[in-house]
Structure 1
Amino acid sequence: MAKCCGSSGCKCTVTAGPGVTVDGNGSTTLPYVISADAATPTPVTAGDTPTVDTTVGGTGTAGDPYVVSSAVILDPAPPGGGTNLAKAGPDGLFVECADVRQCFTAGDGAAYDPATGEISARVSADAGNTTTLGADGGLYTPAPTAADPTAVEAADTPTVDVTVTGAGTNADPYEVSAAVILDPAPPGGGTNLIGAGPDGLFVECAGVRQCVSAGDGAAYDPATGVLSARLSTDAGNAASFGTDGGIYAPGSSGADPTAVQAADTPTVDVTVSGTGTSADPYEVSAAVILDPAPPGGGSNLAHAGPDGVYVECADVRACLSAGDGIAYDAATGEIAATPTVVEAGTGTTVTGTGTAADPYEVSATPPETACGLTGDGSTGAPLAAAVAAWPYACDADTAAGGVYCDSTGQLRSEPRGQIAFQQNQQVLDFANVTVPTPEDTEVATHSIDIVNPDACRSAFVLLEAETDADFNLPAGAGAGLGMATDEMSYLRNSGSTTILDTHIQGTKVINAGTIPPGGTLTYTLPITMGRGSAGATYNRVQSFVRAFVFVL
């Protein structure tokens, strides 16, 4: 700046950035003054993470600067399900040895003091063990002589799988390893609660709690493993929880006898008398309740006497009465059948008296038959349709028509055959159009809608189509007329003068197919010309389409 600025003013440019203001021109009398307090403070916000909770205080000015502080977040429920060993104190985070020591226990070959955290090897006291603690405090096993190496073999148990590798020499020592065997299907039929992880065997409380459930008088929370007594909610229960958390029920005394009260039902009236003392014991008695107005609206047939409840036959007999064909004596309860009366109706006769010795005999009188029926309705001459012999060479079973019955009961034959005729005419005038050269060129069409008059059967249609065209033929000119792809006729002027309005006419029979019952068929006739030459023209085309409709 000393080299840049002089008495005449500074040539350097100072530009204010965000949150900064610049005053002066850089001269010795009016130097640059850069300040930030008056500007808008730079925004600062807190950004938390899963492990740090950040807080921002202050407004970002010189008088009230931003204060950014952070607090470590300790997981209250670690994902492994245990207790978080890390703690926060006034001087920072800490994990103490006393907290960590509870995470360890001693297994085979080790001794562990959780009070001091000291781990040491535990030498087996089994006979023949050559391993001891050496003078330097380490495990010591004398090496076997080369001529007589110690034999080591694996001996599995139901709970441990032992493996031995190596030759037992200094160069290739024995290596004995063991793996705990966990029963995949315990004998009780449940799930094995012991698990094996990378850090050893484990049984967690969450696994054990599922083994316990609450029975009568107990409550159990499998989420926490808390067991407690469950008091009955029945009326009159005197048990409760005492001030010490135990079950409490006040004792009885002579002044507070057992309470007994009557509980009636819709059918029994219970009475309790006495005071419940030895001198005046409780006396409980019951009486049957008989409904004075039964729900069916009748009288109650049950009675109560000195010897109990009863219903007599005389009471029940009044409930019965005689219907059709039955005689009933309410005094004795006797039910008998009334004699059957049989009367002759139209076309029948009745004889006999209806007794076992002279039973009724009903017989039918022969019916009268008219045209088309034979027989009298008897077994020997049943009623039948009067028919003639089949006179045709074909089989009646496949070729004969049917006979039907209409809604009034009248016999009907197959629908009658029908023949219909429909036609229309078309006349088209043209202004001397040149006859096309290619054969079978369509110059007009003629359509007709053909209706099947029968609502029951399909119709067969034959068409007769007729076309007539007028031509102007100069000398040497020719023209052909046809229907669809069939050229029906051809004219040629072999003279030396023009022939005007000469015409040719063609007729054709066409199988148009079938029409469904009550349906309509639209047929379109293509009218064609061709082989036009030497200036031949046409000026009129007339056509007829005639339809013959057959329904058989």
Structure 2
Amino acid sequence: MISAIIDCDEVRGCITAGPGVDYDPATGVIGVGISPDPDNTVEVGEDGGLFVPPTPVDCAEVRGCITAGPGVDYDPATGVIGAGISPQAGNNLAVAPDGGLYVPTGAATVETGCGINGDGSGSAPLELATGEWPFDCPVDDAGAGVYCGTDGTLRSEPLPKAAFFQNSLSLSLPARPLIPVDLTEVASLDIELTNPDPCREALAIVFYEADVDMNFPAGGEGGVAIGTDSMVHIGNGGTRTLLRQHVQESKLINLVLAPGETLTHTMTIEMTRGTNGATYQRIQGTLRAWVISNPSA
């Protein structure tokens, strides 16, 4: 075996320093070539390794590079980024005490009772439970309204109301006055009517009835009218006197009463065309009225 001793001085001359390397041929020490440029931050750390200290960041310059998008709340003055919570009414999203986003249980949905369907979610919005319109007329034209009361309760349109009124008179006239020749009022009867509906007009159907007993000598005549409307005329064409000839006449009219209105209505009974000593001896009258509020008013 042949061995040789290496002369380090001779070997060191075989090596030269390239870019980024610092080499001392006198000692043979090879190290990193650190540039002396003033902006260079590379240095040798305490452990002998290469070390680049952290570069300080100018936050004011960096914050301008960021903007807030949908759902994000960003303050460029402080650099704080958070969730953008909408102030829209009904939003239940909040920030919990632990800093996380929080929606209370049941906030996205609701429990419903009679007359309400759905749970308030996007797939099942709240809606009133309604039936099918069963009528031939269009619901948009004939359907009644639903309204919210001051107590928050749903209210329908006022229900129709009705009332009945009646008054009567009876006059006995033993003196048997003559039936006048010209149309003359011989009796009158009043009736007070009230619309029971404070919201809508009412239709009043008023029924007039007049009963009169008359006496007709031979050749005598006479007639009865209600409200100047001549209703009956009787004449005796015979030779004998006709006593207590009874006539009963009726008439129907209508009136309109304003909401809650009270009025007094009068029926008059007239007699006319009396001849040859014809007389009357009893008059009876009746007024009946049906007052019904009008849902279509």
Q: TM-score range by the shorter chain?
A: 0.5 to 0.7
Within the candidate set 361, 368, 374, 2:102 is matched to 361
Cα RMSD (Å) of the superposition?
3.0
SS at 2:185's partner residue?
Answer: strand
Q: Which amino acid aligns with 2:252?
A: V
Task: Give the TM-score normalised by the residue count of structure 1.
Answer: 0.35
| Residue 405 (structure 1) aligned with residue 143 (structure 2) | no
- Indicate the structure with greater strand content: 2
For the Cα contact (< 8 Å) 2:203–2:291, is it kept in 1?
Answer: yes
Equivalent in the alignment of 2:27? none
Equivalent in the alignment of 2:284? 542
String of CA shifts for 1:268-322, please: whole Å, max 9, x gaps: xxxxxxxxxxxxxxxxxxxxxxxxxxxxxxxxxxxxxxxxxxxxxxxxxxxxxxx
1:509 CA drift (Å): 0.9
Equivalent in the alignment of 2:88? none
For the Cα contact (< 8 Å) 1:472–1:538, is it kept in 2?
Answer: yes
SS at 1:517's partner residue?
Answer: coil
Q: Which amino acid aligns with 1:536?
A: A
| Residue 433 (structure 1) aligned with residue 174 (structure 2) | no
Within the candidate set 381, 389, 393, 2:124 is matched to 381
Equivalence map 1:99-498=2 (5 Å): 354-355=98-99, 359-362=100-103, 364-430=107-173, 431-438=175-182, 440-498=183-241
In structure 1, distance between residues paired with 2:113 and 2:102: 29
For the Cα contact (< 8 Å) 2:185–2:269, is it kept in 1?
Answer: yes
**What stretches of structure 1 of length at least 5 have no aligned partner?**
1-336, 338-347
In structure 2, distance between residues paired with 1:395 and 1:502: 56
Q: Which amino acid aligns with 2:265?
A: Y
In structure 2, distance between residues paired with 1:452 and 1:368: 43
1:494 CA drift (Å): 2.7
In structure 2, distance between residues paired with 1:353 and 1:550: 64
Equivalent in the alignment of 2:263? 521
In structure 1, distance between residues paired with 2:140 and 2:214: 60
String of CA shifts for 1:325-351, please: whole Å, max 9, x gaps: xxxxxxxxxxxx9xxxxxxxxxx7978
More displaced 10-residue stretch of structure 1: 491-500 or 468-477: 491-500
For the Cα contact (< 8 Å) 1:480–1:531, is it kept in 2?
Answer: yes
Equivalent in the alignment of 2:38? none
1:376 CA drift (Å): 1.0
For the Cα contact (< 8 Å) 1:452–1:516, is it kept in 2?
Answer: yes
Aligned pair count? 207
Change (3 A) 1:352 1:541: closer
String of CA shifts for 1:386-429, please: whole Å, max 9, x gaps: 11233333333332111122233222211111222111101123
1:449 CA drift (Å): 1.1
In structure 2, distance between residues paired with 1:407 and 1:515: 28
Larger Rg: 1
String of CA shifts for 1:363-386, please: whole Å, max 9, x gaps: 525211121111111122211111
Within the candidate set 243, 250, 255, 1:500 is matched to 243
Equivalent in the alignment of 1:531? 273
In structure 2, distance between residues paired with 1:493 and 1:352: 106
**What stretches of structure 2 of length at least 5 have no aligned partner?**
1-79, 81-91
For the Cα contact (< 8 Å) 2:108–2:121, is it kept in 1?
Answer: no
SS at 2:168's partner residue?
Answer: strand
For the Cα contact (< 8 Å) 2:219–2:236, is it kept in 1?
Answer: yes
1:477 CA drift (Å): 0.9
Change (3 A) 1:410 1:434: same
For the Cα contact (< 8 Å) 1:349–1:365, is it kept in 2?
Answer: no
Equivalence map 1:10-89=2 (5 Å): none
SS at 2:176's partner residue?
Answer: strand
In structure 2, distance between residues paired with 1:550 and 1:350: 57
In structure 1, distance between residues paired with 2:204 and 2:181: 34
SS at 2:140's partner residue?
Answer: helix
Runs of 4+ in 1 over 6 A off after TM superposition: 348-353
In structure 2, distance between residues paired with 1:392 and 1:502: 53
Change (3 A) 1:497 1:365: same
In structure 2, distance between residues paired with 1:390 and 1:402: 14
In structure 2, distance between residues paired with 1:456 and 1:352: 52
1:540 CA drift (Å): 1.7
In structure 1, distance between residues paired with 2:122 and 2:108: 13
SS at 1:397's partner residue?
Answer: helix
Q: Percent identical across equivalent pairs? A: 43
SS at 2:141's partner residue?
Answer: helix
1:442 CA drift (Å): 2.3
Task: Give the TM-score normalised by the residue count of structure 2.
Answer: 0.62
